[in-house]
């Protein structure tokens, strides 16, 4: 279906708005996937807070212009779909990586995070990034550990005194 100028402008502005707020982007070649597989991928993407869109390359180049994903412009060739992480940096990587396990036809071409372009081999690293809740949990565990250690250390002094007094008492009782 051919797009008229207004439709093209609308697509560019929509993708540009998403790209401006996204944490990471994955570009993958989708040729060889049937409609049912793409529908399944779109559903998984929606569930995980990933914006997934098949966009003409010229429109995609214009959409990422001025965003931190501008580094992807040179690699936007061929039939590509773009996946933007909207909730956490690793969500697009997790969705695409999980999907490629069952569908070899989806081939990752490039990844962009924080204005840097990465090779497709870095998909595993992107997918292993923690979610926001996991990162907060890890941070809280790191912050809580010294406090717990201090509490155990401070609590050990009176505990040791009590054990020493009990040992002396037991020793005196056994001697008497």
Residues 19, 37: one domain?
yes
Bridge-based pairing state of the strands 80-85 and 107-113: unpaired
Instruction: Check: CB of residue 113 under 8 Å from CB of residue 24.
Output: yes
- 152, 175: one domain: yes
Q: Are residues 138 and 57 in the same domain?
A: no
Task: Say if residue 86 is in the same domain as residue 135.
Answer: no
Torsion angle (degrees, nearest 10) of CA 73, 75, 81, 87:
-60
Query: Do 112 and 136 fall into the same domain?
Result: no
- Residue with more model confidence, 67 or 176: 67
Average the pLDDT over 35-51 and give the result. Answer: 89
Asked whether residue 176 carries a pLDDT value surpassing 80, the answer given is no
pLDDT of residue 117 exceeding 80, the answer is yes
The pair of three-digit structure tokens given for residue 121, joined into one six-digit string: 């081999």
- Mean pLDDT over each residue of the chain, to the nearest integer: 85
- Determine what percent of the chain is predicted with pLDDT higher than 90: 2
Reading the block at residue 57, the tokens are: 């390359």
Boundaries of domain holding 159: 130-176
User: Are residue 103 and residue 159 in the same domain, yes or no?
Assistant: no
pLDDT value of position 2? 63
Residue 120 and residue 87 share a domain: yes
| Shared-domain flag, residues 161 and 107 | no
DSSP character string of 87-150: SSTTHHHHHHHHHHHH-TT-EEEEEEETTEEEEGGGHHHHHTSPPHHHHHHHHHHHHHHHHHHH
Give pLDDT, residue 1: 53
**Number of structural domains in the chain:** 2
20 and 107, same domain (yes or no): yes
- The predicted model scores a pTM of 0.72
- Looking at the chain, the whole-number percentage of residues with pLDDT higher than 70 is 98
């Amino acid at each position: 279906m051919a797009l008229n100028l207004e439709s093209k402008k609308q697509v560019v502005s929509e993708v540009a708005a998403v790209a401006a707020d996204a944490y990471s982007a994955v570009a993958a070649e989708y040729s060889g996937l049937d409609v049912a597989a793409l529908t399944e991928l779109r559903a998984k993407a929606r569930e995980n807070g990933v914006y997934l869109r098949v966009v003409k390359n010229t429109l995609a180049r214009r959409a990422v212009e001025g965003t931190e994903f501008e580094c992807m412009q040179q690699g936007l060739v061929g039939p590509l779909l773009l996946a933007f992480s909207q909730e956490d940096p690793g969500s697009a990587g997790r969705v695409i990586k999980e999907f490629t396990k069952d569908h070899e036809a989806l081939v990752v071409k490039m990844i962009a995070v924080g204005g840097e372009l990465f090779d497709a081999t870095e998909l595993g690293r992107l997918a292993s990034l923690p979610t926001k809740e996991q990162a907060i949990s890890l941070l809280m565990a790191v912050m809580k550990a010294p406090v717990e250690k201090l509490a155990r250390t401070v609590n050990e002094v009176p505990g040791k005194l009590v054990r020493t007094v009990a040992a002396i008492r037991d020793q005196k009782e056994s001697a008497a």
